[in-house]
Amino acid sequence: MVSEIDHFMDGLMRRNPHEPEFHQAVFEFVETVMPYYLDHRKYTDARILERMTEPDRIVSFRIVWEDDNGVPHANKGFRVQFNSSMGPYKGGLRFDPSVNVSILKFLGFEQTYKNALTRLPMGGGKGGSNFNPKGRSDREIMRFCHAMMSELFRHIGESTDVPAGDIGVGAREIGYLFGKYKQLSNHFTGGVLTGKGLSFGGSEIRKEATGYGVVVFAEDMLKHHGKTMSGKTVAVSGSGNVAIYAVQRAMRMGAKVVTVSDSRGFAHLPNGFTDESFAILQDIKENRRESLAVFAQEAKGVTYHAGKSPWSVPAQVGLPCATQNEVDETMARVMAKNGMECLAEGANMPLTAQAIHVLKDAGVIFGPAKAANAGGVGCSGLEQAQNAQRLLWTRDQVEQELEKIMRSIHEQCVEYAPVKNGVTDYQAGANIASFARVADAMIGYGYL
């Protein structure tokens, strides 16, 4: 089996050189799926695994925009349309200097299988730009978004490709992007972008959905192993939408949340978040866009640790919600030593492959991103459904549907997952369940 995996990865890396993030994402998938793949001749005869690791297309383009001083700038824009077997391409746009083809291919690849687990008619894609929004004015952000959509609008559509937000792209940016799309296309098609404002076709709880979903999934994993979220100490990384609303949902379930982080350090609350400190965090990150150092100054019982990781703080539940590869093998050993019982990935691929093995070998219940953080795209699918119906569902209705999606994903993982030393292997379960759905669809189309 090891030789089969190595042979496959050697070929993939030859075809896709200098793309370490994409290699990592595919390896994490292939090492759990390969036994299932080889046991089913219909997949091997069709060479499905080789075909599904090649994106349908990659679009790249120049984005020229003007700053507040009248100086023009040029950035790179991308859209990776990875796989549309399950429906129109669906996946976020990311604005960050780190954006490149390797990162977007890894994200589009992961998105394909994440979307398959929702059982909604959505394929997988991802896009973005190496534009850095930090320190830019609202008007500069607006001009950049309008410039980007001037090219992107040619490649998207409600039945073709439906972008949403990601790192650096929130409701403000989606509003600017959608406004330009509407102007260029000369018709109002709400389902072409998700994460919109409620006043023009958005959905209730969209910004909360990924954070809520990851906690619902973690709670289901704990329940499946005879445990509960209530009373647990929870460490969270990140302080964007995913992290903020993971904190809120975990608090609602009776957990004590003791950390959040940003790119400059982390905040530690030994006694856990209160309603008051949570409200301050929301204001600082969602309205004022300040550092967590400011949060520590304004909220009671908070210490700020510049340049450090939150994962040194002992916790029973881990919710990494920041960015890819934030937890390495060394940090995973610290987490296991400190009594980590369960970890659910809120970000995309926040653990290295070595870190995942360390936690699983230590008996930690591990929830991979493609299952645990599917709440965001699940809610995006619900937004598309509302747009198609020309309706706006209530907050309770959307939250109930979202919980159904997350619990269904948990059930699919359990159905396909092996059990080792009494712990369900959700990584294998998620990968095999989603692989089977996408592969069966691809086989149904013939050799395309």
Asked whether residue 261 carries a pLDDT value surpassing 90, the answer given is: yes
d(CA 143, CA 68): 10
Asked whether residue 2 carries a pLDDT value surpassing 90, the answer given is: no
Q: Is 339 labelled a binding residue?
A: no
Average pLDDT value for residue range 241-269: 97
3-state helix, strand, coil in the chain (%, to 5): 50, 15, 30
| The pLDDT of residue 445 | 97
Q: Is 90 labelled a binding residue?
A: yes
Task: Convert the pLDDT of each residue in 276-293 to its tens digit.
Answer: 999 999 999 999 989 999
| The pLDDT of residue 312 | 94
Q: Which runs of consecutive H residues, i.e. helices, occur in 236-368?
A: 241-252, 275-282, 292-298, 329-337, 353-361
209-372: CATH homologous superfamily? NAD(P)-binding Rossmann-like Domain (3.40.50.720)
Q: State the chain's mean pLDDT as an integer.
A: 96
Q: Is 207 labelled a binding residue?
A: no
Average pLDDT value for residue range 352-378: 96
Average pLDDT value for residue range 255-263: 96
d(CA 408, CA 170): 27
Q: Is 210 labelled a binding residue?
A: yes
Asked whether residue 158 carries a pLDDT value surpassing 90, the answer given is: yes
Q: Which runs of consecutive H residues, i.e. helices, occur in 253-291?
A: 275-282
| The pLDDT of residue 92 | 96
| The pLDDT of residue 157 | 96
| The pLDDT of residue 146 | 98
- How many degrees, rounded to 5, is the angle at CA 91 between CA 396 and CA 435? 95
Q: Which CATH number is 57-188's, of 3.40.50.300, 1.10.10.10, 3.20.20.70, 3.40.50.10860? A: 3.40.50.10860
Domain regions of the chain by residue span: 1-52+428-448, 57-188, 209-372
Task: Convert the pLDDT of each residue in 106-133 to its tens digit.
Answer: 999 999 999 999 999 999 999 999 999 9
What residues are annotated to the active site? Answer: 126
For residue 229, what pLDDT band results from cuts at 50, 70 and 90? very high
- How many degrees, rounded to 5, is the angle at CA 162 between CA 63 and CA 238? 75
- For domain 1-52+428-448, the CATH architecture is Orthogonal Bundle (1.10)
Task: Convert the pLDDT of each residue in 172-208 to its tens digit.
Answer: 999 999 999 999 999 898 899 999 999 999 999 999 9
Q: Is 316 labelled a binding residue?
A: no
Same CATH fold assignment for domains 1-52+428-448 and 209-372? no
What is residue 423's DSSP assignment?
E
Task: Convert the pLDDT of each residue in 29-54 to its tens digit.
Answer: 999 999 999 999 999 999 999 999 99
Task: Convert the pLDDT of each residue in 143-154 to its tens digit.
Answer: 999 999 999 999
